[in-house]
């Protein structure tokens, strides 16, 4: 495994291993959703996990974000083994995520939704918050600055006061991304960010993902089943099929991997 | 002329009774908003809080009857009394502990269950707490006095007598209850809107998964919400307990909160307040104007008839977010 810092062709810096999954196995009853999979995520890269429907991609993402606890295997983060953790504890480590089916707070405005991403960053005491004094005031200003930057960045200024429940699908996806970004995550997990989008929206989203990585230097792990989108976006790709890892490498390497081609195009059985 | 003043007095008294109703309803709304559970035990929570407060204040030995029956002893009191303020703080601590235990022993095991299951669990909880209160502190009717002023306010009576030539009869306890309730509501709204924990509470109310993904611990929020509900129950228990003694019927004020909630909507804090006021004023005025024509005693059923009408014509209440399909 290469631990040296690399500079990519487009001038981004990719550092050492940030997260490593070692021999992960996840079972639901008798069904093995993930079978003994290992891979790593390096600092600053865009890492994609792809595979056909039911390959176990989302399960893998849920293992990373703590929503599932694997029966076997280890998760290493920043050189330390991560014990079994609740999802909220994982979030507090600096791992933010979005959901395939969008999980936003529908009753709150866009701004309030994004502000919840900052909850873990708020340290001011209770009284200080209630009285709006001292640390609380400084903190709120700091948090608002970050949130405003994210809002500008994702071009959602005009809907900031709109309750999320009223937004169309594409914008909701963007708000969810904004909330995750507001947390200044060390790793950003995107669960099918382009699912259900039309071509134009997909292009927008791809641009945002690239820009986030470029501008904030955020490490991104994303799941997609649309090969085309992923190949253009990512630095390295893990390919899963029926819970197994069948390929791992740069998009070009993966594209020419016979097993991957078979999984995607189907193969004639004797 | 006197008739008009009398009506105004009835209206004022109705407003103040309404505040007391709103106080109980608030506890329901808080828990419903944060966890989608209709907490049947809220009224018993108020009774339990009041019993505990009296018990601590008067230095009663908890479980005295049980201990005496088992060991043939005759202990009743520790022989000290605790100052009101300290007793209230201690009772508050007991309510937080109770919230923690409820989360740990009941709610935690029912995560992901349908709301109706959780509702049933709170019914069980209500009966359990009722029994626990009896066993711990005895079933006799107790007087609660934490130093809140009571009785007719003579200042108001003489002042209004001078100005209008008609002396208003207003209980000082009602005035205090109104002030305290207003403070409590302002504090709760401030908490929900402007603090980190309040924001987290609203987030949990909206979507559990999303809340987890931004690092909110559901357990912490639930313990917090139940603690707040316990605290609101304590305030309600103190007010009602001072007014009419601490006894089992205290838990039945929860029933009066039901029509209040149907009017105001289960998810709205302002709704609970407005609903409480409308019912308080409505039942007093109805009794005053219509009562004599139909033989009186209308206060017992007026609120429920009003609630029925609302259920038929506006089931989400005045301020409710949507039709409540969850209860």
**A-chain residues within 8 Å CB-CB of B213?**
65, 87, 91, 96-97, 99, 103, 180
Q: Which conformational region is residue A4 in: left (phi greater than 0), alpha (psi within -120 to 50 degrees), or beta?
A: beta
A interface test, pick of B33, B184, B196, B216 with most A CB neighbours within 10 Å: B196
Task: Choose between B56 and B65: higher pLDDT.
Answer: B56
Arithmetic mean of pLDDT, B75-92: 90
For chain A, where do the domains classified as CATH 3.40.50.300 start and end? 1-94+187-270
CATH code given to domain B2-313: 1.10.3470
φ, ψ of residue A41 to 5 degrees: the values are -125, 125
pLDDT computed for residue A131 by the predictor: 62
Q: Considering CB atoms only, which of A107, A126, A183 is closest to B214? A: A183
pLDDT tops 70 at residue B326: no
State the pairing for strand pair A17-28/A6-7: unpaired
Arithmetic mean of pLDDT, A73-93: 92
In chain B, domain spans: 2-313
Q: Which helix (H) or strand (E) holds A21?
A: strand A17-28
Per-residue pLDDT band for B325 (boundaries 50, 70, 90) equals very low
| A216-248 confidence digits (pLDDT tens) | 889 999 998 777 788 889 999 999 999 999 999
| A22-66 confidence digits (pLDDT tens) | 999 999 988 899 999 999 999 999 999 998 888 899 999 999 999
pTM of the model: 0.81
pLDDT computed for residue B8 by the predictor: 87
| B150-195 confidence digits (pLDDT tens) | 888 888 888 888 888 788 888 888 888 888 888 888 888 888 877 8
Arithmetic mean of pLDDT, A119-123: 75
Q: Considering CB atoms only, which of B207, B215, B321 is closest to A92? A: B215
**Residue position matching structure tokens 């019914």:** B123
Arithmetic mean of pLDDT, B115-133: 91
Q: What residues of chain B have any CB closer than 8 angstroms to a CB in chain A? A: 190-191, 194-197, 199-200, 202-203, 205-207, 209-218, 321
pLDDT computed for residue A15 by the predictor: 86
Nearest to B211 by CA among A97, A122, A38: A97
Q: Considering CB atoms only, which of B191, B209, B211 is closest to A130? A: B191
The CA distance from B289 to the nearest CA of chain A, in Å, is 42
Instruction: Count how many residues are written for chain B.
Output: 327
> Cβ of B217 and A88 within 8 Å?
yes
What is the SS3 assignment for A208? helix
Q: Which conformational region is residue B151 in: left (phi greater than 0), alpha (psi within -120 to 50 degrees), or beta?
A: left
**A-chain residues within 8 Å CB-CB of B224?**
none
Q: Considering CB atoms only, which of A87, A122, A126 is closest to B212? A: A87
Per-residue pLDDT band for B327 (boundaries 50, 70, 90) equals very low
Task: Choose between A134 and A149: higher pLDDT.
Answer: A149
Per-residue pLDDT band for B30 (boundaries 50, 70, 90) equals confident
Arithmetic mean of pLDDT, A97-125: 86
**A-chain residues within 8 Å CB-CB of B206?**
105-108
- Distance CA(A217)–CA(A232), nearest Å, equals 18
Considering chain B, what percentage of its residues have pLDDT values greater than 70?
97
pLDDT tops 60 at residue B207: yes
What is the SS3 assignment for B308? helix
**A-chain residues within 8 Å CB-CB of B212?**
67, 86-88, 91
Q: Considering CB atoms only, which of B194, B202, B218 is closest to A108? A: B202
Q: CB under 8 Å to B223, separation ≥6 — which residues?
A: B96, B99, B100, B103
- What residues are paired with A222 via a beta bridge? A48, A190
What is the SS3 assignment for B68? helix
State the pairing for strand pair A95-97/A187-191: parallel
Give the count of Cβ contacts less than 8 A between chain A and B. Answer: 81
Q: CB under 8 Å to B229, separation ≥6 — which residues?
A: B27, B30, B31, B39, B42, B45, B99
- What residues are paired with A50 via a beta bridge? A224, A239
CA distances in angstroms from A135 to A92, A250, B201, listed in the order given: 20, 46, 21
pLDDT computed for residue A123 by the predictor: 65
Residue-averaged pLDDT of chain B: 86
Residue B206: closest C-alpha in chain A: A105
| B220-258 confidence digits (pLDDT tens) | 988 998 999 999 999 989 988 888 889 888 888 777 888
Lowest mean pLDDT among B51-60, B90-99, B201-210: B201-210
Nearest to A161 by CA among A198, A206, A113: A113
φ, ψ of residue B38 to 5 degrees: the values are -85, 110
pLDDT computed for residue B324 by the predictor: 42
pLDDT computed for residue A270 by the predictor: 57
Considering chain A, what percentage of its residues have pLDDT values greater than 90?
54
Arithmetic mean of pLDDT, B197-205: 85
Radius of gyration of chain A (CA): 19
> Cβ of A120 and B215 within 8 Å?
yes
Structure tokens at B49: 């809080």
What is the distance between the terminal CA atoms of chain A, rounded to a whole angstrom? 37
Nearest to A2 by CA among A246, A235, A257: A235
Arithmetic mean of pLDDT, B61-79: 85
pLDDT tops 70 at residue B59: yes
Arithmetic mean of pLDDT, B89-98: 95
| A170-215 confidence digits (pLDDT tens) | 899 999 999 999 999 999 999 999 888 888 888 899 999 999 999 8
Q: Which helix (H) or strand (E) holds B34?
A: helix B2-35
φ, ψ of residue A87 to 5 degrees: the values are -55, -40
Instruction: Count how many residues are written for chain A.
Output: 270
> Cβ of B210 and A103 within 8 Å?
yes
pLDDT computed for residue A3 by the predictor: 61
State the pairing for strand pair A13-14/A6-7: antiparallel
Structure tokens at A169: 């699908």
CA distances in angstroms from B248 to B91, B232, B298, listed in the order given: 18, 18, 23
pLDDT computed for residue A175 by the predictor: 95
- Distance CA(A128)–CA(A56), nearest Å, equals 46
Under 8 Å between Cβ of B242 and B144:
yes
Under 8 Å between Cβ of A161 and A110:
yes
pLDDT tops 70 at residue A127: no
- Distance CA(B111)–CA(B204), nearest Å, equals 13
Arithmetic mean of pLDDT, B295-308: 88
Nearest to A215 by CA among A253, A188, A255: A188
- Distance CA(B269)–CA(B272), nearest Å, equals 5
B interface test, pick of A69, A89, A114, A116 with most B CB neighbours within 10 Å: A116
Q: Which CATH number fits domain A1-94+187-270: 3.30.479.30, 3.50.50.60, 2.40.50.180, 3.40.50.300?
A: 3.40.50.300
Angle at A74 between CA A51 and CA A256, to 5 degrees: 30
The CA distance from B207 to the nearest CA of chain A, in Å, is 6
Q: Interface pTM (ipTM) of the complex?
A: 0.83
| A156, HSE (Cβ side, Cα atoms, 13 Å) | 32
Q: What residues of chain A have any CB closer than 8 angstroms to a CB in chain B? A: 65, 67, 86-89, 91-92, 96-97, 99, 103-108, 112, 115-117, 119-120, 122, 124, 126, 129-130, 132, 179-180, 183
């Amino acid at each position: 495994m290469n631990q040296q810092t690399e500079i990519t062709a487009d001038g981004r810096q990719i550092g050492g291993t940030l997260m490593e999954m070692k021999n992960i196995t996840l079972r639901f009853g008798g069904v093995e959703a993930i079978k003994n999979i290992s891979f790593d995520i390096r600092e600053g890269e865009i890492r994609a996990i792809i595979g056909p429907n039911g390959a176990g991609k989302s399960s893998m993402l849920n293992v990373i974000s703590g929503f599932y606890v694997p029966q076997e295997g280890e998760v290493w983060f920043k050189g330390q083994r991560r014990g079994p953790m609740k999802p909220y504890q994982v979030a507090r480590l600096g791992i933010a995520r979005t959901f395939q089916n969008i999980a936003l707070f529908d009753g709150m405005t866009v701004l309030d939704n994004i502000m919840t991403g900052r909850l873990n960053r708020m340290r001011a005491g209770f009284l200080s918050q209630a009285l709006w004094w001292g640390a609380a005031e400084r903190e709120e200003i700091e948090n608002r600055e970050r949130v405003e930057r994210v809002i500008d960045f994702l071009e959602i200024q005009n809907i900031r006061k709109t309750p999320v429940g009223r937004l169309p699908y594409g914008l909701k996806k963007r708000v969810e991304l904004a909330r995750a970004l507001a947390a200044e995550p060390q790793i950003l997990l995107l669960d099918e960010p382009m699912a259900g989008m039309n071509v134009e929206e997909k292009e927008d989203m791809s641009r945002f993902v690239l820009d986030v990585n470029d501008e904030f230097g955020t490490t991104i792990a994303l799941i997609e089943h649309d090969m085309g989108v992923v190949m253009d976006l990512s630095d390295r790709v893990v390919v899963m099929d029926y819970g197994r890892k069948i390929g791992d490498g740069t998009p070009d390497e993966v594209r020419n991997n016979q097993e991957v081609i078979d999984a995607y195009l189907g193969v004639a059985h004797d | 002329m006197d008739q008009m003043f009398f009506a105004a007095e009835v209206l004022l008294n109705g407003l103040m009774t309404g505040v007391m109703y709103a106080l109980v309803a608030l506890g329901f709304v808080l828990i419903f908003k944060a966890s989608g559970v209709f907490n049947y035990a809220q009224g018993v929570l108020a009774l339990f809080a009041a019993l505990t407060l009296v018990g601590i204040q008067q230095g009663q030995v908890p479980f005295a009857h049980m201990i005496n029956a088992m060991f043939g002893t005759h202990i009743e009191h520790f022989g000290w009394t605790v100052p009101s303020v300290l007793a209230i703080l201690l009772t508050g601590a007991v309510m937080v502990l109770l919230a923690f235990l409820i989360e740990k022993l009941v709610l935690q095991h029912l995560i992901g269950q349908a709301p109706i299951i959780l509702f049933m669990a709170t019914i069980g909880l209500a009966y359990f707490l009722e029994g626990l209160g009896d066993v711990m502190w005895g079933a006799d009717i107790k007087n609660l006095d934490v130093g809140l002023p009571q009785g007719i306010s003579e200042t108001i009576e003489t002042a209004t007598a001078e100005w209008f030539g008609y002396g208003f009869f207003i209980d000082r306890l009602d005035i205090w209850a109104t002030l305290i309730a207003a403070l409590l509501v302002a504090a709760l709204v401030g908490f929900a809107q402007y603090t980190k924990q309040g924001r987290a509470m609203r987030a949990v109310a909206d979507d559990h998964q999303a809340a987890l993904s931004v690092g909110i611990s559901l357990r912490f929020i639930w313990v917090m919400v139940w603690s707040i509900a316990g605290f609101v129950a304590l305030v309600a228990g103190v007010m009602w307990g001072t007014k009419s003694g601490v006894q089992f019927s205290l838990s039945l004020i929860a029933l009066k909160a039901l029509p209040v909630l149907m009017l105001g909507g289960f998810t709205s804090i302002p709704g609970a307040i407005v609903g409480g006021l409308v019912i308080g004023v409505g039942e007093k005025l109805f009794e005053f104007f219509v009562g004599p024509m139909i033989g009186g005693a209308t206060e017992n059923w007026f609120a429920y008839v009003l609630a029925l009408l609302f259920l038929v014509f506006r089931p989400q209440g005045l301020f409710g977010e949507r039709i409540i399909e969850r209860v």
